[in-house]
A = this chain, B = another copy of it.
């Protein structure tokens, strides 16, 4: 289940914290080493639940390898994916900042390795390195912006716009740009995509088929999409 690898600090210092975690980009070597000492590591398999909604973790968790989804479930079991966190992203700060419990469930989308920071260490970090607080502020600011767009979209009632917006967002994060378009290897299944966009699985299919018929995208199996005309997507998404 949860493998604690206690001897990985060296590796963490070199490979993870220094290069991969933007949160720590402003720290010098000494600070990094100090932090690395207080970090605990663990790993999960695809599909495993990392933290359940409402739990109190008292930790900040940073993704060091793999991808996870943060989602909420309705009473009737419908899933809404709020975030997809990849290498360098963090979560679990809510119960430390406010006293709220984790407002979403986090599950592994792939094999993942996580770095965990205790409440105490996190708070020390914040007070000793204000620049990290600034980093987090920036991250929060962009998360807010994304959600604000979605909220507007849901009011704007345009599913097409939301689909396009999501494709563009994923393309920006996971896409491989190319002279003829963007190759997007999806971090999610179609069902996951649907849950991320907040629409029904079937509707997601239909909308993607429609985009394919319009020659804007091309479906490459179930795990990749070839975006032939990103600007068309932008045009559709714009009128959110």
Identity of the chain B residue whose Cβ is nearest the Cβ of A142 in the assembled complex? B98
- Of A108-116, A129-137, A168-176, the stretch lying at the interface with chain B is A129-137
A68 close to B (CB within 8 Å):
no
Determine whether the beta carbon of B82 is less than 8 Å from that of A148.
yes
* A94-B145 contact, Cβ under 8 Å, with A74-B239, A75-B239, A134-B126: yes
Task: List the number of copies, as a whole number.
Answer: 2
Within 8 A of B (CB), among A201-228: none
Query: Nearest CB to that of A76 among chain B residues?
Result: B239
A24 within 8 A of B: no
Q: A97-B141, A140-B137 are in contact. Are A198 and B154 (CB under 8 A)?
A: yes
Chain B CB within 8 A of A72 CB: yes
Which residues of chain B are within 8 angstroms of A148 by Cβ–Cβ distance? 72, 82, 103-104, 147
Q: Is the CB of A130 within 8 A of B126?
A: yes
Q: Is A152 an interface residue (CB 8 A)?
A: yes
Residue in B closest to A147 when the chains form the complex, CB atoms:
B147
- What is the distance, in angstroms, from A43's C-beta to the closest C-beta of chain B? 26
A151, CB-defined interface residue at 8 Å: yes
Which chain B residue has the least Cβ–Cβ distance from A156? Answer: B74
Instruction: Determine how close the nearest CB of chain B comes to the CB of A12; give it in whole angstroms.
Output: 25
Q: Give residues of chain A (131-165) contacting chain B, Cβ–Cβ below 8 Å.
A: 133-134, 136-138, 140-145, 147-152, 154-156, 158
Choose from B75, B104, B137, B195 the contact partner of A137 (Cβ within 8 Å): B137
Query: Contact: A140 with B140, CB < 8 Å?
Result: yes
Q: Are B144 and A143 in contact (CB under 8 A)?
A: yes
A78 partner, pick from B78, B140, B156, beta carbons under 8 A: B156
Top 3 A-B pairs ranked by shortest CB distance? A155-B198, A154-B154, A147-B147
Q: List 15 A-B contacts (CB under 8 A).
A: A74-B239, A74-B240, A80-B151, A80-B155, A80-B156, A93-B137, A93-B141, A97-B138, A103-B145, A103-B148, A103-B149, A140-B144, A150-B154, A151-B151, A154-B198
